[in-house]
Amino acid sequence: QVQLVESGGGLVQPGGSLRLSCAASGSIFSINAMGWYRQAPGKQRELVATITRDGSTNYADSVKGRFTISMGNAKNTVYLQMNILKPEDTAVFYCALYGVVSDRQGWYWGQGTQVTVSS
């Protein structure tokens, strides 16, 4: 069993910033990567950013230069610093983990945290 708990979402004005956090716990054998995905109303869930255990990062084109993903020192924590937020960033953001949990390799997801960018 694994728990992925996101925090840091909320309402922010355009141009503002938010920092999302995700902490993973449970029967985690190994973590290959962690990341953030988001789903806006009427759209598919999309990749925002991922980071591998060794620090390699990948970003969606729409967030490059504005968002930064990082791994915490505990290695089971991931952050997403979001700057210059735009209304189109409004979505439910999901923390994701790729690794082995209770002998099963795959993707694991948190419940999501709402990010709303609006004046």
Helices and strands (DSSP H and E) totals, the chain: 0, 11
- What is the model's pLDDT at position 95? 97
Q: State yes or no: pLDDT of 38 exceeds 80.
A: yes
Share of the chain above pLDDT 70, in %: 100
pLDDT, tens digit (0-9, with 9 covering 90-100), for 59-93:
999 999 999 999 988 779 999 999 999 999 999 99
Q: Which amino acid, residue 46? A: E
| Angle, vertex CA 57, rays to CA 84 and CA 17, nearest 5 | 20
The 10 Å Cβ neighbour count of residue 40 is 14
Summarize the confidence of residues 95-117 as an average pLDDT: 96
Q: How far apart are CA 115 and CA 85, in angstroms?
A: 10
**Bridge-partner residues for 31, per DSSP?**
99
Alpha carbon 85 to chain centroid distance? 15
Evaluate whether 57 touches 71 at the Cβ level (below 8 Å).
no
- What is the model's pLDDT at position 6? 96
